[in-house]
């Protein structure tokens, strides 16, 4: 809501790839690279939890030149990774385009290189990557395809301040939704 050009591009992609005659489906997700980039950007800037589940080093090891002695408790800062300026230029900017040409041309929500943590990686990585990607994308895509979103009259910039006790928004997000598809489509599924 704070980036009208981004929401405009996302809706344009939906209208081009899916159209307005049917609801977006799971099978469309692979073609919705701009929407996936929006979600990647949201995961990078606003991870579900501030830190990863703690790990204990079972033996001495070296990571990126740093010695991690056996029995160390290792806690990874997700917020720190996602906002690392050495990896992400202008890290606080919500800019989905940065993910579009980043890789092999297909945008995925997982980030095995751990430049930010979405699903983790390796033996204890999330086994729900596929389901997690599908429901996150489908919910987002349907909310965008199905409704035009506006802020209530008089509302300013949406505050992204997080609550001090969790990473939920400190103030609830209040928006107005106006249907933008034919009425019968809302009865399906």
| Residues flagged as binding site for heme | 126
Annotated binding site: 126
User: Is the Cβ of residue 64 or residue 183 nearer to ligand HEM in the bound state?
Assistant: 64
User: Is the Cβ of residue 168 or residue 182 nearer to ligand HEM in the bound state?
Assistant: 168
Query: Least Å distance between CB 13 and ligand HEM?
Result: 20
CB atoms within 10 A of CB 142: 15
User: Is the Cβ of residue 126 or residue 158 nearer to ligand HEM in the bound state?
Assistant: 126
Query: Least Å distance between CB 116 and ligand HEM?
Result: 10
Residue 68, C-beta contacts closer than 8 angstroms, at least 6 positions apart? 57, 60, 61, 62, 74
User: Is the Cβ of residue 14 or residue 117 nearer to ligand HEM in the bound state?
Assistant: 117
Binding site for ligand HEM (CB under 6 A): 48, 52-53, 117-120, 124-128, 131-132, 136
Query: Least Å distance between CB 105 and ligand HEM?
Result: 23
84-109 burial: b if 16+ Cβ within 10 Å, else e = eeeebeebeeebbebbeeeeeeebbb
How far apart are alpha carbons 12 and 103 in whole angstroms?
23
Which residues in the chain belong to E strands, given as ranges?
A: 55-56, 61-63, 66-68, 73-74, 147-150, 176-179
How far apart are alpha carbons 167 and 158 in whole angstroms?
16
Query: Least Å distance between CB 80 and ligand HEM?
Result: 15
R_g of the chain computed on alpha carbons: 19
């Amino acid at each position: 809501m704070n980036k009208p050009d981004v929401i405009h591009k996302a809706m344009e992609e939906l209208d081009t790839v899916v159209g307005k005659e049917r609801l977006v489906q799971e099978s469309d997700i692979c073609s919705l690279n701009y929407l996936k980039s929006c979600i990647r950007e949201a995961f990078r800037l606003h991870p579900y939890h501030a830190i990863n589940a703690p790990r204990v080093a079972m033996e001495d090891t070296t990571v990126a030149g740093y010695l991690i002695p056996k029995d160390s408790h290792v806690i990874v800062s997700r917020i720190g990774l996602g906002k690392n300026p050495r990896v992400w230029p202008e890290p606080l900017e919500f800019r989905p385009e940065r993910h579009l040409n980043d890789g092999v041309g297909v945008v995925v929500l997982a980030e095995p290189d751990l430049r930010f943590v979405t699903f983790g990686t390796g033996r204890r990585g999330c086994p729900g990557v596929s389901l997690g990607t599908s429901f996150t994308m489908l919910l987002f895509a349907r909310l965008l395809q199905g409704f035009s979103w506006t802020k209530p009259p008089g509302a300013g910039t949406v505050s992204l301040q997080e609550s001090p006790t969790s990473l939920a928004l400190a103030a609830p997000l209040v928006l107005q939704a106006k249907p933008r598809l034919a009425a019968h489509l809302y009865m399906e599924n």
